[in-house]
Structure 1
Amino acid sequence: MTASQHAALDGLPTPRRYWAIASIGLGITLAVLDGAIANVALPSIAQDLQASSAASIWIVNAYQIAIVVALLPLASLGEIVGYRRVSQAGLAVFTLASIACVFANSIEALSLARVIQGFGAAGIMSVNGALVRFTYPQSLLGRAVGINAVIVSLAAAAGPTIASAILSVGHWRWLFALNVPIGLLAVSLAGFTLPHNPLHKRKLNWTGAALNAAAFGLVITGLQSLAHGEAAVLGFGLTGAGLAAGVLLIRHERSRASPLIPLDLLARPMFSLSVATSIISFTAQMMAFVALPFFLQGSLRLTPVETGLLMTPWPLATMIAAPLAGYLSDRYSAGVLGAIGLSVFACGLMALSFLNADSTHFDIVWRMAVCGAGFGFFQSPNNRAMLSEAPKERAGAAGGTLGMARVVGQSLGAVVVAFLLSTTPINGVAHGFQIAAVTALFGAVMSGSRVRRRPAEPEKEVEAV
C-alpha cells in the first residue's frame, strides 16, 4: 500500500469528517436515548400494562438479548457489504420497531417490538466503532472515541430528563414515538456522509451466525428465567444448551481466517483484557441503572419526574469526563486511566448504597455525579485500546466486540437486578449497589493489569510498507 493510499484510508477530510461523526452520533443516540428512557419508564409501564416489576425488566432484557444475538454477525456483514449499509438498515428497522412499541397493548407485545428494535440497534451498534475508526485518522483516534462518548453521554443525559418531562404531561407511549422523527433524520443523513470501507470478498458465515445466536441467546434467556423464578429445569436447560452451542461455535470458528467470534483479536492480551474489563464495568453500570428507578421510586418514594431529574447528573458527569479521558488516552496508558476511573466509579456505587429515606436530593445528586465521572474516565481509554489494537481490516470485528462487551455486561447486570427484585423486597435492591461496587473494583484491578503490557500498533506496520 502506498503512502497516498494509506492517507486516503486514514480518516475523512474536513468538513466531511464532522458531518460523518454527526451522522454516527445521531445513530448511536437513538439506541442510547431509547435505553435511558425505557429504564426510567419501567415502573409506569408495568403499572399501565398490569405487569409485575420483575416481568417489566423484559422490556430492557428483550432489547439487550436481540442486540447480543445479532451484533457480531452484523459486524461481520459490515466487512462484506460495507459498514454504512449495515448502519442505514439498522436505523430503518429501529425506526419501524419504535412505531410498533407505541401501539403495543400488552407486556408481551411490547417485549416483541423491543426485540425487533434490538435487531435495529444491533445494526447501528455493530459498526459504530468501525465507522469512527474510518472517519478519524489514527493519531486522533482517542479524541474521536472521546467525542463519541460525549454524544452517548448527551443522549443518556437527555434520556431521563426527556422521560421525566413527557411522563409529567403525557403517556409513556410518547417516549417511543420520539424515536420516529430522529430515526428518519438519521437514515437520510447517513446516506451521503458515512465513510466507505474496503470490502472483504467472502460470504457471511451463516453457520457461525446461527451458533452465535444460539449460544448468546440461550445463555442470557436461561439466566433471565432463573432470575425471574421460573422453573429451574427450564433455566438450567437453556443455559446448558447455550454453553454447548458456544463450544461448537468456538470449534467452528477456530480455523477461519476472519472468524465471526474474533478469536484472532482475543489472542492479543491487550485486546482480551480490554474486552473483559468492559464487560465487568457495564455489568456494574447496568445493575445500578436498572435498580435506581425502582429504588428511588419504591424506597425513597420519589415521583417519576424526580427520578429522571436526579439520575441526570450521572450521564452529565460522564459527558465531562469522557472527552478528557479520550484526550489523555492518546498519550497515557489505558490501563492506568481505566483503573483510576473504575476505582472512582466503585466509590460512587458504594456511596449510593447508603442512601435512605432521610437522604436529600443533594445526597443523591453528588453520588450520581461521582459514578458518572468515574465511568466516563474509564470508558474512552478502554474503547480506544480495543479499536487501536486491531488491524484496520478487522475494524468491524473490533467494533462489534466493543458493542458486544457492552451489551453482554448490561444483560448480566439486568439479570442480577431481576433476581433481586424477584427474591427480596424493593428495599433489598440497595444491596445491588454494593455488588456493583465490588464488581467495578474488580474491573479496576483488571484494568491495572494492562499497564505492563505494551499494546500493538498495527497502523505503524502499514505506514512502513
Structure 2
Amino acid sequence: MEKTLSDGLPLPQRYGAIATIAIGIMMAVLDGAIANVALPTIARDLNASEAASIWIVNAYQIAIVISLLTFSFLGDMFGYRRVYKAGLVCFTATSFLCALSPNLEMLAAARVLQGIGGAALMSVNTALIRLIYPQYQLGRGMGINSFIVAVSAAAGPTVAAAILSVASWHWLFYVNVPSGIIALLLAIRFLPPNPQGVRKQSFDLPSAIMNALTFGLLITALSGFAQQQAGIITLTELVAALLIGFFFVRRQLTLTVPLLPVDLLRIPLFTLSLCTSVCSFCAQMLALVALPFYLQSTIGRSEVETGLLLTPWPLATMVMAPLAGRLIGRFHAGLLGGLGMLLMLTGLFALAFLPGTPTDVDIIWRMALCGAGFGLFQSPNNHTIIVSAPKNRSGGASGMLGTARLLGQSSGAALVALTLNLSATQGTQYALIMAGCFATAACIVSSLRVTQTLPES
C-alpha cells in the first residue's frame, strides 16, 4: 500500500523542526538533573544549608507539575508553536537569572520561573511531533524523542561534572542561553502551526488555580514525606490536595473542553496507556533512587564506580528506544509494552536478589536488561497516548503524558524514603522488590491493551 505524505512536514523543514524540539527538551530534561549534582557546591557558595538547598530542585519540579496541564490547554487553544516559543523565551531568560542569583531565595524563585518555561516546552512537545512527522512515521518520531530524553537524563550528571571541573556552578545555567537562542531561531523558522488553526474556547481560570493547588500540594506532600517532614504537615497537605482535587475533577466534568482532559479518560486505550506510564515511571524511579544507596552503602562501591555501574541502564534505553519506534505499526503497542515491562521486571527482581558479593558483570547485565525493557516500552506507549486522542486534543494528551511521568517519578522517590525509614539495612532491597511489583502491574495493564485498537490507522 502506498504511503501518503499529505500530513507532516516536508523533509528539509522536518529536520529543522525536530532540531528545535530536541534542543528545547534536552535543556528542560538536563536542568532537572544537573542541579542535583551541584547542590553541595551551590549550598556552600550561597551559605545555605544542605536541607534548604533541596528547594533548588523542588522549586523546578513543582513549577513544572502545577503548570503543565495549563500550557497543554493553551497549546490547544492558541497553537503549540506559540506555547513552545514562549517556553523557550521564558526558559532562556530565567536560566540567565539563575546564573546571576546572589542568594538561595533568588535562585529558588528563578528556578520556579525556569520550571514554568520548562513546563511550556514539555507540555506541547509530543503534540508538535504529531504535526512534524507523517502519520506512518510517527512511531519513528516518538522513538527519536524517547532517545533524546534518555540521552539527556543519562548525560545530566556527566555534563554537570564536566562543567563544574572547569567553571563555577553558574555556568550550569549560562550554557542554556546560547542553546535557547538557537532553538528559538529554529522554532521561528521551522515549527508548524496547528493544522486546524486555534480553537475557539475560553480559558477557565478557577480550573487553572485548582490544578496548581491539587498537583502542587500532592508533590509537596510526597517530597516532604521523602525528606521526613513532620507527619501532621504532610497529612494536611495530602488531605488538602485530595479535597481540592475532588472539586477540581467535578468542575472539569461540567466543562465542554476541560483543563484536565477527563473526557479523554473515556477512551479505554488512552486510560490504560496512562496507567501503564505511571506504574513504569514509578518502578524506574524506585530503582534509580535506591540503587546508589545499595551500591555505596551495602556493597561498598565508590561514587565513581556507582556512576559507571548505573550507566548501562540509560545506555540500553538509548539503544532500544529508536528501535522500538520503528516497530510501531508492525506490532501492537500493548504487545511491545508488555514485553518491555516483562524484561524490566525480570531485571528488577534480579537486582533485588543479587548475590551477597556481586561482580560488576552481575550488576551490569541486570541494569542493561532494565534499560532495554524500559526503552522497548516507552516509545510505543507514548505513541499510543498521543494517537489515541483526537488530533485537535494532542496538547491535552501531551500534558497528561507529562503529568503521568512526574506523578510516577515523585511517588517512586517517596516510596524509596519509606522503605529506607522502615529498614536501614534491607530498605534498598524492599524498594527494588516494590519496583518489580510496579513493573509487573505495568506489564499486566499493557497486555490488556492488545484487544484495543487505535481510532486512526
Same fold (TM over 0.5): yes
2:92 is aligned with what amino acid? T
Separation in 1 of the partners of 2:239 and 2:368?
A: 40
Residue 18 (str. 1) matches residue 20 (str. 2) = no
Equivalent residue for 1:192?
A: 189
Equivalent residue for 2:388?
A: 389
Equivalent residue for 2:444?
A: 445
Separation in 1 of the partners of 2:455 and 2:170?
A: 48
Change (3 A) 1:187 1:418: farther
Equivalent residue for 1:3?
A: none
Equivalent residue for 1:367?
A: 366
Residue 64 (str. 1) matches residue 50 (str. 2) = no
1:3-23 CA distances to partner (integer Å, 9 max, x unpaired)?
xxx976x21111101111111
CA contact (8 A) 2:341 2:443 kept: yes
Residue 322 (str. 1) matches residue 330 (str. 2) = no
Change (3 A) 1:148 1:354: same
2:209 is aligned with what amino acid? A
CA positional deviation for 1:443: 0.8
- For 2:455, what is the secondary structure of its paired residue? coil
Equivalent residue for 1:410?
A: 409
Change (3 A) 1:341 1:401: same
1:380 is aligned with what amino acid? S
98-107 vs 308-317, which moves further: 98-107
CA contact (8 A) 2:80 2:127 kept: yes
CA contact (8 A) 1:57 1:414 kept: no
CA contact (8 A) 1:288 1:433 kept: yes
Change (3 A) 1:192 1:326: same
Change (3 A) 1:63 1:140: same
CA positional deviation for 1:239: 1.1
CA contact (8 A) 1:161 1:308 kept: no
Change (3 A) 1:314 1:280: same
CA contact (8 A) 1:348 1:368 kept: yes
Separation in 2 of the partners of 1:385 and 1:44?
A: 42
1:210-359 alignment to 2 at 5 Å?
A: 210-354=209-353, 358-359=357-358
1:99-178 alignment to 2 at 5 Å?
A: 99-102=96-99, 110-168=107-165, 171-178=168-175
Count of aligned pairs: 451
Change (3 A) 1:291 1:43: farther
Change (3 A) 1:415 1:110: farther
Structure 1 vs Structure 2: percent identity of aligned residues?
51
Give TM-score, length-normalised by structure 2: 0.89
302-311 vs 252-261, which moves further: 302-311
2:91 is aligned with what amino acid? F
CA positional deviation for 1:446: 0.9
Equivalent residue for 1:201?
A: 200
CA positional deviation for 1:81: 1.8
- For 1:69, what is the secondary structure of its paired residue? helix
Equivalent residue for 1:380?
A: 379
CA contact (8 A) 1:208 1:253 kept: yes
Separation in 1 of the partners of 2:10 and 2:421?
A: 53
Separation in 2 of the partners of 1:274 and 1:430?
A: 28
CA contact (8 A) 2:226 2:413 kept: no
CA positional deviation for 1:415: 2.0
1:236-272 CA distances to partner (integer Å, 9 max, x unpaired)?
1111111111111112111222211112211010000
The runs of 5 or more residues in structure 1 that have no matched partner are 1-5, 461-465
Give TM-score, length-normalised by structure 1: 0.88
Change (3 A) 1:310 1:93: farther
Separation in 1 of the partners of 2:297 and 2:100?
A: 28
Equivalent residue for 1:83?
A: 80
CA contact (8 A) 1:30 1:179 kept: yes
The runs of 5 or more residues in structure 2 that have no matched partner are none
Aligned alpha-carbon RMSD (Å): 2.8
2:26 is aligned with what amino acid? T
CA contact (8 A) 2:226 2:418 kept: yes
- For 1:196, what is the secondary structure of its paired residue? coil
CA contact (8 A) 2:225 2:417 kept: no
1:58-114 CA distances to partner (integer Å, 9 max, x unpaired)?
544432222111001100111122111211221222233333444557666554443
- For 1:153, what is the secondary structure of its paired residue? helix
2:134 is aligned with what amino acid? P
